[in-house]
Amino acid sequence: MHRILFGLLLALAFGSDLEAQTPFYQGKTITLLVGSSAGSTYDNYARFIAQHLGKHIPGNPPIIVQNMSGAGSMIAANNVYSVAKPDGLTIASINPALYFNQLAGKKEIQFDWSKFTWIGSPDRSEHVLYMRADAPYKTIQDVRRASEPPKCSATGTGTTGHYLPKLLGETIGTKFNIVLGYQGAPEMDLAAERGETQCRALTHAAWFSGQIYGTWRANGFDRVLMQTGRKRDERLPQVPTLNELMNEYRTDELSRRLATVVLSSNEFGRPYVTHPGIPAEQIKILREAFMKTMADPEFLAEAKKKKLDIEPTPGEEMGPLAKEVISQPPEVIERMKKLLEQ
């Protein structure tokens, strides 16, 4: 009897030790939700990262990419925050400016921006506004003086395509007719080619990495009217920054503060997030794996070939920033609500 009991205890101890040594992610699959349509720059980054991330996670789990586009990635953000289980098996690539909608009190929001678990971001990108070259708006000054505003495309409120033209109106007095409801970047660019719209705001990274934009530049299809950033991108030396334009048009202090809050979204880059309730051990694993991927020589070499900018931000730095942007005084929140009106 003693031998039997001893054998059982030994088996239990061995089994427990074996279970403790088995990586959590071994034998499991991670789902990566992408809040934009297939073929967009967000989608390209996500699929590329998914190819490399798993090998830096103990247990080497496969990562399946699932597009969940709509409402400027709000659907994906709501899903990973409120629907997905807090088990570390679902992460999401979302729009960095979704917090605008939370500040404005949009009822569709089912998340708290400050409570997401932040995994990291592969890049920090400023923005540009392109205009069809055959449109009668050759400069931002032309847009300010126009009797009929140009049509710009956007997927939804709180996205670059929506908030940047609106911010220009709030800070330097331009007017744009923003057409909402496009599924993603490919659809918006097709609208520009068809003449349904004339302009669109997007990131520097998308502008310089997208094949379609390279073709446009070669054919003289469009021009860039403005860019964000503290200084002009060396690849766009003739294009004025928003700061330069605000100085030129003597933008008031409250409008400048609004611009600061809005353009803080650039610091979030292309954020990867997961449920706020996942265990600390899984958070540590995912964050470390993400930053190891960003430093992987093979990953970086391939990113260069794909013309994907890599300037990563660790998740540990994004959490405090998320809390900071959500804490705004009433006057800024009121201006934000106005900015997000359709």
- Check whether 245 has a pLDDT greater than 70: yes
136 close to 146: Cβ distance less than 8 angstroms: yes
Across the range 64-78, mean pLDDT stands at 92
Q: For residue 38, with 0-12 CB atoms within 10 Å meaning exposed, 13-18 middle and 19 or more buried, which class applies?
A: middle
87 close to 189: Cβ distance less than 8 angstroms: no
The Cα–Cα gap between 146 and 81 comes to 43
Cα Dmax for the chain: 96
Which pLDDT value is given to residue 19? 47
pLDDT in tens, 269-282: 999 999 999 999 99
Which pLDDT value is given to residue 3? 56
Question: Phi and psi (nearest 5°) for 179?
Answer: -100, 110
Of all residues in the chain, the percent with pLDDT exceeding 90 is 71
Which pLDDT value is given to residue 41? 87
The Cα–Cα gap between 32 and 195 comes to 34
DSSP 60-95: ---EEEEE---GGGHHHHHIIIIIS-SSS-EEEE--
Which pLDDT value is given to residue 87? 94
pLDDT in tens, 147-205: 999 999 999 887 889 999 999 999 999 999 999 999 888 999 999 999 999 999 999 88
Which pLDDT value is given to residue 1? 53
- Check whether 16 has a pLDDT greater than 80: no
**Token pair of 322 as six digits:** 């998320």
- Check whether 285 has a pLDDT greater than 70: yes
Which pLDDT value is given to residue 255? 93
Which pLDDT value is given to residue 342? 60
Q: What is the pTM of this model?
A: 0.76
The residue with greater pLDDT, 136 or 125, is 136
